[in-house]
Copies of this chain bind each other. A is one copy, B any other.
Amino acid sequence: MQLEIAIVQFKPTLFDIKGNLQKAINIIHEIITSSNPKVILFPELFLSGYTFKDRKELDAVSFPISIQDGKNESLAPLIDISKKMSIGISGGYSEKDGDLFYNSSFFIGDGQIIANYRKTHLFHDENDYFQPGDTGFQVFEYNNVKFGMMICFDWIFPESARTLALMGSEVILHPANLVLPFCQRAMYARAIENRVFIATANRVGKEVNGKYENSFTGGSQIVSPRGEYILTMNEDGEYFSSVKIDPTEADDKNITEKSNLFKARREEFYR
């Protein structure tokens, strides 16, 4: 089976949720003009930007989501194009739930909100205004492919990708706003140890908000279950690109015919 998956390396304008959404729509039109991906992945918080001073600033760019009714005013243009083109669109946003905010990612498939994940492991200043995610890791099916979601800093905890893989993920969607230099190189291990595809859509650019400042490391990539970097982007610059993968490659956990990475686990000895 074949899945064409696109990742977008993106630089949002801080606070400009409408402008960023329009830019994303324009990029999707460009992508589907030049290629035929079934899934398009944007970075973490690609609609709002990342560098907030406080919860008040965050409030202005946050919105609630409902999987139940599958509708969402803020995401309506993405839902529309997803329905019209029969594609999946995923990316990160700031989710508002009552008075609380989560660093979340959505998956919209064929016009429906199929999944919503709240980031489990918050990074650094995010702890000051986001709540730690309470959804846990989730796996969902779209187009007969099992997808899992993790967000940015979740990567450094081996338990994140491990949990998603044990739950059956064939392709892990990993929107990111990486500022540390480690992840891109380390995902080699994540892909091999779990024998899954991992797509990391990272943002680029420098973002300044008063005394707060972040520089993002780009290098968006897709790594195969054999540790091949089948798609890589530069550290700087906005790009989109797609690649065809066979997600069922991730179903074979045998690293040799006598060594199955999942059956050989010995949970009784793990902390």
Chain A residues engaging chain B, CB cutoff 8 angstroms: 120-125, 127, 132, 136-137, 153, 156-159, 162-163, 166-167, 180, 182, 185-190, 192-193, 227, 255-256, 258-259, 261, 264-271
Contact = CB atoms under 8 A, between A and B. Distances in A.
A103 to B, nearest CB: 14
A256 B121 CA distance: 13
A223 to B, nearest CB: 12
Given A192-B182, A192-B186, A270 B159 contact: yes
Nearest to A186: B189
17 contacts: A121-B266, A125-B258, A132-B266, A136-B269, A137-B269, A156-B255, A156-B261, A158-B159, A158-B189, A159-B267, A162-B271, A182-B227, A185-B189, A186-B193, A186-B227, A187-B189, A188-B189
A266 B189 contact: no
Closest 4 CB pairs of A and B: A189-B189, A158-B158, A186-B189, A159-B270
Nearest to A191: B186
- Total copies of this chain within the assembly: 2
A261 B148 CA distance: 22
Contacts of A137: 269
Contacts of A156: 192-193, 255, 261
A44 to B, nearest CB: 15
A124 B258 contact: yes
Given A159-B270, A162-B271, A188-B186, A259 B193 contact: no
Contacts of A158: 158-159, 162, 189, 193
A163 B261 contact: no
A94 B250 CA distance: 34
A160 to B, nearest CB: 8
Given A188-B185, A256-B124, A166 B271 contact: yes
